[in-house]
Amino acid sequence: MFLPQEIIRQKRDGKVLSNAEIQGFVTGLVDRSFNDAQVGAMAMAIVQQGMNVDETVALTRQMMNSGDVLQWPELDGPIVDKHSTGGVGDKVSFMLAAIVAANGAYVPMISGRGLGHTGGTVDKLESIAGFNVQPTTEQFKHIVKDVGMAIIGQTSNIAPADKRLYSIRDITATVESVPLITASILSKKLSAGLNALVMDVKVGNGAMMQDIQASKELAQSIVNVANGAGVKTQAIITDMNQVLGNTAGNALEIKETLDYLSGEYRDPRLHEVVNALACAMLIDAELAKNTNDAKQLVNNVLSNGKAAEVFAKMITHMGGPSDLFSTPDKYMPVANVIEDIKAPTIGVINAMQTRDIGMAVVTLGGGRLSNGQDVDHSVGFDQIIHIGSKVTAGDVIARVHANSADSLAIAKNSYLNSVQISEVVNNFNPVIYQTITENRKAE
Angular region, 380: left φ>0, alpha ψ -120 to 50, beta rest: left
Among 56, 66, 85, 121, which one carries the catalytic annotation? Answer: 121
CA distance 361 to 351: 18
Alpha carbon 123 to its chain centroid, in Å, reads 12
CA distance 247 to 380: 8
Task: Give DSSP secondary structure letters for 87-138.
Answer: -SS--HHHHHHHHHHHTT-BEEEEE---BTTB--HHHHHTTSTT--S---HH
Alpha carbon 30 to its chain centroid, in Å, reads 26
Would residue 81 show up in a list of annotated catalytic residues for this protein?
yes
Say if residues 4 and 45 touch (Cβ distance below 8 Å): no
Among 11, 61, 141, 169, which one carries the catalytic annotation? Answer: 169
Among 61, 113, 141, 188, which one carries the catalytic annotation? Answer: 188
Would residue 184 show up in a list of annotated catalytic residues for this protein?
yes
CA distance 132 to 151: 10
Would residue 368 show up in a list of annotated catalytic residues for this protein?
no
Say if residues 91 and 253 touch (Cβ distance below 8 Å): yes
Among 84, 85, 187, 215, which one carries the catalytic annotation? Answer: 84
Would residue 342 show up in a list of annotated catalytic residues for this protein?
no
**In terms of C-beta density within 10 A (0-12 exposed, 13-18 middle, 19 or more buried), how is residue 12 classed?**
middle
Among 184, 215, 354, 418, which one carries the catalytic annotation? Answer: 184
| β-strands 419-422, 347-352 pairing | antiparallel
Would residue 169 show up in a list of annotated catalytic residues for this protein?
yes
Among 11, 60, 61, 81, which one carries the catalytic annotation? Answer: 81
Among 82, 202, 355, 377, which one carries the catalytic annotation? Answer: 82
Among 56, 60, 61, 83, which one carries the catalytic annotation? Answer: 83
Among 61, 91, 124, 189, which one carries the catalytic annotation? Answer: 189
Among 78, 89, 5, residue whose Cα is nearest residue 41:
5
Q: Which residues pair with 107 in a beta bridge?
A: 149
Would residue 271 show up in a list of annotated catalytic residues for this protein?
no
Among 126, 141, 154, residue whose Cα is nearest residue 320:
126
Which helix (DSSP H) or strand (DSSP E) does residue 43 occupy? helix 36-49
Point out the residues that are catalytic.
81-84, 121, 169, 184, 188-189
